[in-house]
Amino acid sequence: MVKRTSPIDAAPSRRVGPVRIGPVALGTASWALQNPPIGTRTAAWILRAALDSGVGLVDTALAYSTSNEQSYSERLLAGALRSLGRRERPVIATKGGHFRRGDSFVIDGRPETIRSNCEQSLRALGLETIELYLLHKPDPAVPLVESVGAFAELQQAGKVRFVGLSNVSAAQLEEARSVVDIAAVQNGLEASTGDPVVDRCEAEGIAYLGYSPFEGSPQAAKRNPGAVEIAAAHRVSPHQVIIARHLLTSPAITVIVGARRPATIRDSAAAATLRLTPREVELIDTAEPLTHAQHPAVGAL
């Protein structure tokens, strides 16, 4: 987790460009990549809970698919949105340049592939314009400026409103910004030292969409004794405590949290209003992970 000496207020509004998205976003990777995949009715329940909880961005990707059905999460999200029939709609972020083919995941940053991926996502989502379209992973076989150039062309054609990057370094971010305005970066939240990408995003007004807030495993939150202690004191889940801690790192950060149940996204979104003291932040940051034998059953989701 990135450490700062002066935590900020957890609640300020987060934005992609001029559009408010809020501190917590809903991720849909688990809808397709965990077994069994969820269905449209469950997706609609989760989405309703997210919107009711103030979530302003939903993250998906072409690669969030089952082994036998491409665009699974994108289509599921589109169906859930239609079934709700609500006026307020979240920002939809999706990603291209990376997709699933059977049990393999392919990285392909060629401009023609990115254009094809974008068209596929537009059809699956039922949109004329994707609000936020991100390069999922840089392709080592294709110059980054060529991949990003395709995104710039899609933006000029009106198929994409905002362009973003995922899984990039600070140097790659700067290289891409020489080609097109970058509105968001989606990187992991596993870093334990200062993150230059977060710093750059904060300085330039770029949204930092942080994924994997629990170090790749939901159980990690409950193995942090500081988070467990604080959760008990506040009568919330350790997951909520960890998300609140991430939000203190930078006003640029929006935390992406996956959910396969409505209760999970409601709990996660509530982290935006959880206030941690400097002492509580220190307890979280300096805690040694609990072993399985030490692990208490506190705040399970």
- Residues 267/299, Cβ–Cβ less than 8 Å: no
C-alpha 217/C-alpha 22 separation (Å) is 23
Residue 35 in domain:
yes
- Determine the structural domain holding residue 214 and report its residue range: 19-219+250-260
Alpha helices in the chain (DSSP H): 29-33, 40-52, 72-84, 111-125, 144-156, 170-177, 196-204, 219-223, 225-234, 238-247, 262-269, 278-286
Give per-residue pLDDT as tens, 92-122: 999 999 999 999 999 999 999 999 999 999 9
Residue 111 in domain:
yes
Cα angle vertex 50, ends 39, 83, to 5°?
45
Give per-residue pLDDT as tens, 159-209: 999 999 999 999 999 999 999 999 999 999 965 447 999 999 999 999 999
Residue 93, domain CATH: 3.20.20.100
Amino acid at 297: A
Per the structure, the count of domains in the chain is 1
pLDDT of 215 reads 73
Note the pTM of the prediction, 2 decimals.
0.91
Residue 180 in domain:
yes
**Secondary structure class of 95 (helix, strand, coil):** strand
Nearest in space to 76 (alpha carbons), one of 120, 131, 126, 113 = 126
Give per-residue pLDDT as tens, 25-55: 999 999 999 999 999 999 999 999 999 999 9
pLDDT of 214 reads 87
Return the residue matching tokens 């103030």. 54
Q: Is the pLDDT of residue 23 over 50?
A: yes
